[in-house]
């Protein structure tokens, strides 16, 4: 009996995830959505001690699985979503590579880097992202390729590597409307 209950709960969890993902695709088919996309899979949790924003060899970079994931993201966006109007990315190599592999082209936007430790600089950074979100008037989806910490600071929620979080402006932050998980 316990096995049946556990199996039913697992199936319900998968069904809920699939429904949430389908809700995300429905929004993206409409266009004009704001998408926070966490970079694809990159091994490690922190930057190496010799980190240099100008040198990819000193940063955490996408794994081969991450590159495959980024290509899959791009293929699915092309097949299931309205056109992408604009793509912005942080200055980190893993976000730029995710954007390039998924969407072909992107503009660097330093405020999408992980939030600064200094509270004043952090506020300025997040305000710049919010201004960009609020001023978007394009018809396609607007994609911001960024980092976990940035998504958390803007939404109060987490995101997996390669997860798309569809948001809308709300007060001083962003409200999550839907999510799409790319495995």
**DSSP letter assigned to residue 106:** -
Give me the residue spans of the domains in the chain. 2-180
**DSSP letter assigned to residue 172:** T
- Do residues 141 and 35 make contact, with C-beta atoms less than 8 angstroms apart? yes
What is the predicted pLDDT for the residue at 109?
A: 98
For the chain, what is the mean pLDDT?
89
What is the predicted pLDDT for the residue at 17?
A: 44
Ordered DSSP codes for 37-87 = EE----S-SS--TT--TT-GGGS----HHHHHHHHHHHHHHHHHSPPEEEE
Q: What CATH code is assigned to 2-180?
A: 3.40.50.1240
What is the predicted pLDDT for the residue at 3?
A: 56
Which residues of the chain register pLDDT less than 70?
Answer: 1-20
178 forms bridges with which residues in the sheet? Answer: 166
Determine the Cα–Cα distance for residues 57 and 7; give it in Å rounded to an integer: 45
- Do residues 132 and 109 make contact, with C-beta atoms less than 8 angstroms apart? yes
pLDDT in tens, 44-95: 988 889 999 999 999 999 999 999 999 999 999 999 999 999 999 999 999 9
What is the predicted pLDDT for the residue at 183?
A: 74
- 3-state secondary structure labels for all residues of 128-168: HHHHHHHCCCCCCEEEEEECHHHHHHHHCCCCCCCCEEEEE
């Amino acid at each position: 009996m316990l096995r049946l209950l556990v199996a039913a709960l697992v199936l319900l969890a998968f069904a809920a995830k699939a429904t949430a993902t389908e809700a995300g695709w429905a929004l993206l088919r409409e266009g004009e959505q704001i998408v926070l996309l966490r970079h694809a899979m990159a091994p490690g949790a922190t930057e190496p001690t010799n980190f240099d924003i100008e040198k990819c060899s000193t940063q955490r970079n996408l794994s081969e699985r991450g590159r495959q994931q980024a290509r899959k993201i791009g293929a699915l966006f092309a097949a299931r979503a309205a056109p992408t109007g604009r793509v912005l990315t942080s200055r980190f190599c893993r976000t730029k590579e995710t954007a390039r592999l998924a969407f072909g082209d992107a503009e660097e936007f330093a405020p999408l880097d992980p939030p600064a430790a200094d509270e004043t600089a952090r506020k300025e950074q997040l305000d710049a992202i919010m201004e960009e979100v609020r001023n978007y008037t394009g018809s396609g989806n607007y994609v911001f390729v960024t980092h976990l910490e940035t998504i958390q600071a803007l939404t109060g929620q987490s995101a997996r590597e390669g997860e798309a979080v569809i948001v809308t402006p709300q007060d001083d932050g962003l409200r999550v409307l839907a999510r799409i998980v790319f495995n």
